[in-house]
Structure 1
Amino acid sequence: MEDIKPIADREGHVGGIESMMVDGRRWFFGFDYSMDTAVSPLIDDPARMAEFASKHMLQTDGVHDVAYWRDLVDSSVETSGIVGEDAARTYDSETVAAELPSTRLIYLMGAATAWDESFFEHEAVQAALATMGVRERDREDWDCLDQCIAARRSDSAEVSRAGADFMTLYQRFIFDNLPANWPEVFAALRPS
């Protein structure tokens, strides 16, 4: 069986194990809570996830064996350090493709890309942020994301359109930058 490689530049992060359901299939991944960053490919086998974590991840007290990580993998099915109940971590491609992605999924995709701020260098992104009324000093980092998500529901057609444009640009950027097998697992989110 081929060894699962870590995401480039994310080897040796201190973190835990998260899981989610996508189209009825449970996926596990490493997550660095201090950096709000996913640190592994999506792995659908608990034993392989534990093995990956023992080789490529740390806890605050250092390295741990496969058995230690397997306990964390198993507990990730019931609990999450990111989202509460399992229903909030369950995604169906058909529903996701037909609707705007949930705030939790939008957050998770940003975490998978390690919050690459080069997104804010695009003129169209800056124009949408200005139309939505995002303060100039907040137009260069991800702290404005909640305001942009909310803008899609604005009573102002112009602001609502800017929010929708921003989210389309965000989804395209995300898919151009998702690591490892993340784009394949979430292919339904790819904007047309």
Structure 2
Amino acid sequence: MFDFFKKKSPTADTPRESTNPQPLNGRKGHVGGIEALTLDGTMYFFGFDFRSDLVVSPLIPDAALMARFASEHMEQRDGVHDQAYWRELVGYAIDGSELCSEEASRTFDTQALAAAIAGLGRVRREGTPEPGFGIEYHLRYLLGAAGGWEVPEEAGDEDADAWIGFIAGNEPVPEGESLSDVAARLQKHLNALVDAAPGNWGTLFAVLKS
């Protein structure tokens, strides 16, 4: 039915007791499903509550451990299920997503993210556009969902997509604003997203901070 071993990234199917992950910020008993992203060639699974727009688990690089986590801490609309049930849903997450249909938008590279942040720093210092600049919307969305949407108002994201367009040179900066200031606001927003993200979400994507 599913080629669970199509990618080598999820580790062996026998998780160790000492590595059992816990729900983020006490988010136990949420009704949700399994999603996945790839970072530096490793696939990580996570639980997601679609109704509340919340990530409920750490990033878990092990298919069996993800199934165990879900069987212990998550539910479906018809109640709790065993590991075998959740293992099948993990299989769906390897090749598909209910959140983001494009695999490229669910695949990230630390060096590329670091290069983007370095480019953002140049814009802050020099005030000139950085052609091709971008920070994937889906990544910013997931960090917000992991952090419980607790980014401070002053570092809000209401203009983040527009800021990225200005920085890339796709659109002119509005009159009365400088590109350096726009870049500084975007960096402040990224810093706040990472700071609010609990567990290994914040550590794995710490490269976005500056």
RMSD, matched Cα:
2.0
Structure 1: any 5+ residue segments left out of the alignment? 126-140
**Given the alignment of the two structures, is residue 15 of structure 1 paired with residue 57 of structure 2, yes or no?**
no
Report which stretch shifted further, 152-161 or 68-77. Answer: 152-161
Q: How does 1:144-183 map to 2 (within 5 A)?
A: 144-152=159-167, 153=169, 154-156=171-173, 158=177, 160-183=179-202
Percent identity, aligned pairs only? 40
Partner residue of 2:209? 190
**Given the alignment of the two structures, is residue 107 of structure 1 paired with residue 141 of structure 2, yes or no?**
yes
Q: How does 1:31-70 map to 2 (within 5 A)?
A: 31-70=48-87
Give how far 1:143 is off: 5.1
CA–CA separation in structure 1 for the residues paired with 2:184 and 2:157: 16
Mapped contact 1:103–1:149 kept (Cα < 8 A) = no
| Letter aligned with residue 26 of structure 1 | M
Please state whether the residue corresponding to 1:82 is helix, strand or coil: coil
Mapped contact 2:37–2:45 kept (Cα < 8 A) = yes
CA–CA separation in structure 1 for the residues paired with 2:206 and 2:158: 26
Tell me the TM-score normalised to structure 2 length.
0.74
Partner residue of 2:4? none
CA–CA separation in structure 2 for the residues paired with 1:190 and 1:143: 19
The 3 A distance-change label for structure 1 pair 169 and 11 is same
Match of 1:87 among 104, 109, 112: 104
Structure 2: any 5+ residue segments left out of the alignment? 1-16, 117-133
The 3 A distance-change label for structure 1 pair 145 and 13 is farther
| Letter aligned with residue 62 of structure 1 | G
| Letter aligned with residue 65 of structure 2 | R
Structure label with greater radius of gyration: 2
Tell me the TM-score normalised to structure 1 length.
0.81
